[in-house]
């Protein structure tokens, strides 16, 4: 059947690649229907629930018949104040909850919408490679251009800021950073943030720091906020989320904080395209941010145990990887002789029922790597890693 030209999608849709996890989900459904026991180590979704007191707060608020109407754009006053309290307690950063903060429907939409609110056609967005796809797709949908900043092991998966060409810096409008990092698990020292801030101030672009993993750290490491650095608010916004920090991925609630002008632009854009979050979600989130945080210690210990199981097993299977000090991923190089990460991950899934994310899903610099998520029950992680070792032995034979 011939489709009328007017019924075709907008040309900008051509810049959106097919969503990798949609295709992966279909394949896993097929395998499970055939009786394969698939262990998912691919999606960055916490398997553990929030603390019981957070869920109870949600229930109490939902029982109030007045809590089911539309909410204010950008969050209720108590939700905004809770995030300001969090930033003061956790990072020693003072945030004005009225002018330097806006609530989000999960940080993913805020990441995408920041480009829509800030990037003009022809502007350049500086994007890490490998990196989270919305950094790129948001800029492209806004009509901008993307200049990829390679993240390489020899530079501790930090972009080489001095390698950005002067003509690119002149046109740069937005730089994306993300530490602790997805997918590599890398961390950034304050000195790196200071260098990025100095560059942004010199060339007049905005730094958007995506920081949803600051509360998942190991081995005594404490992750900073970029807003702790002098002068950061002049050129920075930071995105945070309840999803990873408090095991609330499905609740879809987050925040952007920092430069007041950028926050105002994001708020204005969002008020035209979405609405406020459900009040019981906001009430429970406010309590999570301000109440006892000690339950996160045990939560992180579970992630640490999984991390060690994964890292040890991958090395036994001939795969090089660092032991990350933060986030919920292990970034591993394929064993010797293997180069095609998508083909290798597909063989792993089909052969032993373990699903990992190919590195090239996150960009060309991910070639030859896979990302292994720690968001799976510990006993299943251990079983998955035994299968990986058997798979490696099978390949050698």
What digits encode the pLDDT tens for the residues 83-99? 999 999 999 999 999 99
Task: Kindly state whether residues 72 and 88 are assigned to the same domain.
Answer: yes
For the sheet with 172-177, list strands across it: 101-104, 254-258, 236-241, 206-210, 172-177, 124-129, 145-150
Q: Of 2-11, 196-205, 217-226, 261-270, which range is least confident?
A: 2-11
User: For residue 130, how many C-alpha atoms fall within 13 Å in the half-sphere facing its CB?
Assistant: 25
- Tell me if the bond preceding 333 is cis, omega within 30° of 0: no
CATH of the domain at 14: 3.90.1150.10
Say if residue 17's pLDDT is above 80.
no
Contact yes or no for 294/51 (Cβ under 8 A): no
Which residues make Cβ contacts (< 8 Å) with residue 3, sequence separation at least 6? Answer: none
Task: Kindly state whether residues 38 and 157 are assigned to the same domain.
Answer: no
| pLDDT score at 2 | 65
Which residues make Cβ contacts (< 8 Å) with residue 21, sequence separation at least 6? Answer: 42, 43
Task: Kindly state whether residues 245 and 279 are assigned to the same domain.
Answer: yes
Tokens of 363: 């960009």
Task: Kindly state whether residues 251 and 377 are assigned to the same domain.
Answer: no
Task: Kindly state whether residues 243 and 384 are assigned to the same domain.
Answer: no
Task: Kindly state whether residues 63 and 190 are assigned to the same domain.
Answer: yes
Domain boundary among 257, 274, 290: 290
Domain that holds residue 369: 5-49+295-396
pLDDT above 90 covers what percent of the chain? 86
Domains contained in the chain, number: 2
pLDDT tens digit string along 158-167?
Answer: 999 999 999 9
Task: Kindly state whether residues 76 and 190 are assigned to the same domain.
Answer: yes
Q: What is the largest CA-CA distance in the chain?
A: 66
Domain boundary among 290, 312, 336: 290
Say if residue 16's pLDDT is above 90.
no
Dihedral pair phi/psi, residue 9, rounded to 5°: -60, 160
State the burial class of residue 30 (Cβ atoms within 10 Å of its Cβ: 0-12, 13-18, 19+). Answer: exposed
Say if residue 201's pLDDT is above 70.
yes
| pLDDT score at 305 | 97
| pLDDT score at 382 | 97
Task: Kindly state whether residues 112 and 162 are assigned to the same domain.
Answer: yes
Say if residue 397's pLDDT is above 60.
no
Domain boundary among 267, 290, 313: 290
174, β-bridge pairs:
125, 206
């Amino acid at each position: 059947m011939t489709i009328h030209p007017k019924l075709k999608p907008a040309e900008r849709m051509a810049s959106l690649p097919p969503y990798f996890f949609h295709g992966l989900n279909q394949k896993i459904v097929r395998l499970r229907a055939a009786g394969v026991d698939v262990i998912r180590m691919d999606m960055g979704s916490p398997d553990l629930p929030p603390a019981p007191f957070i869920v109870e707060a949600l229930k109490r608020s939902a029982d109030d018949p007045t809590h089911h109407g539309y909410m204010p754009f950008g969050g209720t006053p108590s939700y905004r104040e809770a995030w300001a309290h969090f930033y003061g307690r956790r990072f020693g950063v003072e945030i004005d909850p009225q002018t330097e903060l806006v609530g989000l429907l999960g940080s993913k939409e805020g990441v995408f919408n920041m480009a829509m609110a800030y990037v003009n056609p022809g502007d350049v967005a500086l994007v890490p490679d490998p990196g989270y796809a919305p950094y790129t797709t948001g800029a492209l949908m806004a009509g901008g251009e993307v200049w990829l900043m390679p993240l390489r092991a020899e530079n501790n998966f930090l972009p080489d800021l001095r390698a950005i060409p002067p003509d690119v810096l002149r046109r740069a409008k937005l730089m994306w950073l993300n530490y602790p990092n997805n997918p590599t698990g890398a961390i950034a020292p304050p000195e790196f943030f200071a260098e990025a801030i100095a560059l942004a101030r010199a060339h007049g672009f905005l730094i958007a720091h995506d920081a949803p993993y600051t509360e998942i750290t190991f081995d005594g490491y404490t992750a900073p906020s970029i807003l702790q650095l002098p002068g950061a608010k002049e050129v920075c916004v930071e995105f945070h989320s309840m999803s990873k920090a408090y095991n609330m991925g499905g609740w879809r609630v987050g925040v952007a904080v920092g430069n007041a002008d950028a926050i105002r632009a994001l708020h204005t854009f969002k008020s035209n395209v979405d609405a406020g979050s459900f009040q019981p979600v906001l009430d429970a989130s406010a309590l999570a941010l301000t109440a006892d945080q000690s339950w996160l210690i045990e939560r992180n210990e579970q992630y640490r145990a999984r991390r060690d199981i994964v890292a040890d097993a991958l090395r036994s299977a001939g795969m090089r990887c660092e032991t990350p000090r933060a986030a919920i991923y292990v970034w591993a190089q394929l064993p010797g002789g293997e180069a095609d990460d998508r083909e290798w991950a597909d063989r792993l899934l089909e052969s032993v029922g373990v699903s990992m994310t190919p590195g090239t899903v996150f960009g060309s610099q991910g070639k030859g790597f896979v990302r292994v998520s720690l968001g799976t029950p510990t006993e299943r992680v251990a079983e998955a890693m035994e299968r990986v070792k058997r798979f490696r032995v099978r390949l050698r034979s």
